């Protein structure tokens, strides 16, 4: 997905939110925002993706703050919320089977902070979780379920912390169905995305089988084929693997080269902003599961 005019204000609004979170000094906040704004202005081009711009914003924030993981506190809080809600997801799966896995994965992508025009609150999510699981899901149902059924190998690209606990449950069930699953969290901290350590915590919590392998994606928003390891690219490009890509960042990046993965790529997300919703062809705010 290419950069849209709407994306600029969103990128800067998130930058302001993050600076407020990380820096106490107003001068430091302004200096970082100036650097980010200068980068955005010098790279404004219809050929770049919001994921690329967001990645560079985060790298500036980390360099200026000296923090390895500026979002550590938010991620920890999200993980605790997810742990409390997992029993409801497990019960939901027991009643609805494989379709429930898609709905759980989609509903979990609601856990996101700092997106312009999208309001998320931990307490509200706790209260509404079962409702969210039963929300309207915009999907090509038969195609998605058929793709999951027929592929024996799955590459699962995670998104946010918190959400990753639900992903771990989904991955556990896919593995129990006899599928070879490779999970790709981030190799290093980037926004509130799940890292390898976040995944390992979630996998231990839900007892994911040891047969599930971890092959990290790079420390960037979405997937960057330029930054990814050869091992990751080898699996991504293996026609035997169904790719399940969670979240808007993965959509923003992968949709630029999705033609290489037709019939074996499923996006699962909540369309939290208008540019992504328009690009996919859904309403803003909808839960989405789409086989390309």
Asked if pLDDT for residue 117 goes beyond 80, the answer is: no
| Residue 114: band (very low, low, confident or very high) from pLDDT cuts 50, 70, 90 | low
Looking up tokens 């392998």 gives 213
| Residue 177: band (very low, low, confident or very high) from pLDDT cuts 50, 70, 90 | very high
Distance (Å, rounded) from C-alpha 129 to C-alpha 150? 30
Predicted confidence at residue 253, as pLDDT, reads 97
Query: Quick one: what percent of the chain has pLDDT higher than 70?
Result: 99
Global pTM exceeds 0.85: yes
Asked if pLDDT for residue 161 goes beyond 80, the answer is: yes
| Residue 124: band (very low, low, confident or very high) from pLDDT cuts 50, 70, 90 | confident
Query: What does the mean pLDDT of the chain come to?
Result: 95
Distance (Å, rounded) from C-alpha 60 to C-alpha 208? 35
Given a contact cutoff of 8 angstroms between Cβ atoms, the answer to whether 251 and 223 are in contact is no
User: Over the stretch 267-286, which tens digit does the pLDDT of each residue have?
Assistant: 999 999 999 999 999 999 99
Q: Where are the domains of the chain?
A: 5-65, 72-291
- Chain centroid to CA 248: how far? 6
Given a contact cutoff of 8 angstroms between Cβ atoms, the answer to whether 221 and 193 are in contact is yes
Distance (Å, rounded) from C-alpha 132 to C-alpha 65? 36
Q: Which of 236, 147, 108, 107 is nearest to 183 (CA)?
A: 236
Predicted confidence at residue 292, as pLDDT, reads 97
Looking up tokens 């430091």 gives 28
Token pair listed for 41: 């202005």
Question: What would the CATH number be for the domain defined by 72-291?
Answer: 3.40.50.10880
Distance (Å, rounded) from C-alpha 292 to C-alpha 268? 11
Predicted confidence at residue 171, as pLDDT, reads 98
| Residue 121: band (very low, low, confident or very high) from pLDDT cuts 50, 70, 90 | confident
Distance (Å, rounded) from C-alpha 116 to C-alpha 248? 13
Stretch 35-62: mean pLDDT: 94
In the three-class reduction of DSSP (H, G, I as helix; E, B as strand; rest coil), residue 111 is classed as coil
Asked if pLDDT for residue 218 goes beyond 80, the answer is: yes
Stretch 122-126: mean pLDDT: 83
């Amino acid at each position: 997905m290419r950069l849209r005019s709407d994306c600029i204000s969103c990128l800067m609004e998130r930058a302001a939110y993050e600076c407020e979170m990380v820096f106490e000094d107003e001068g430091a906040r302004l200096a970082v925002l100036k650097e980010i704004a200068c980068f955005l202005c010098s790279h404004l081009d219809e050929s770049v993706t919001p994921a690329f711009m967001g990645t560079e914003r985060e790298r500036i924030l980390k360099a200026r703050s000296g923090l390895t993981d500026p979002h550590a506190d938010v991620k920890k809080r999200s993980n605790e919320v997810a742990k409390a809600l997992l029993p409801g997801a497990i019960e939901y799966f027991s009643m609805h089977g494989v379709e429930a896995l898609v709905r759980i994965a989609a509903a979990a992508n609601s856990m996101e902070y700092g997106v312009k025009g999208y309001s998320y609150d931990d307490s509200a999510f706790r209260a509404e979780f079962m409702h969210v699981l039963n929300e309207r899901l915009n999907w090509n149902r038969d195609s998605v379920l058929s793709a999951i059924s027929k592929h024996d190998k799955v590459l699962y690209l995670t998104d946010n912390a918190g959400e990753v606990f639900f992903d771990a449950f989904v991955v556990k069930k896919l593995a129990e169905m006899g599928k070879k699953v490779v999970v790709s969290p981030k190799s290093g901290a980037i926004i509130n995305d799940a890292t390898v350590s976040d995944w390992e915590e979630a996998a231990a919590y839900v007892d994911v089988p040891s047969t599930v392998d971890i092959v990290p994606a790079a420390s960037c928003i979405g997937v960057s084929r330029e930054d990814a390891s050869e091992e990751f690219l080898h699996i991504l490009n293996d026609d035997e693997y169904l790719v399940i890509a969670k979240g808007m960042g993965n959509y923003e990046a992968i949709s630029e080269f999705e033609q290489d993965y037709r019939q074996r790529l499923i996006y699962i997300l909540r369309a939290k902003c208008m540019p992504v919703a328009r690009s996919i062809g859904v309403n803003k705010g909808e839960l989405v599961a789409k086989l390309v």
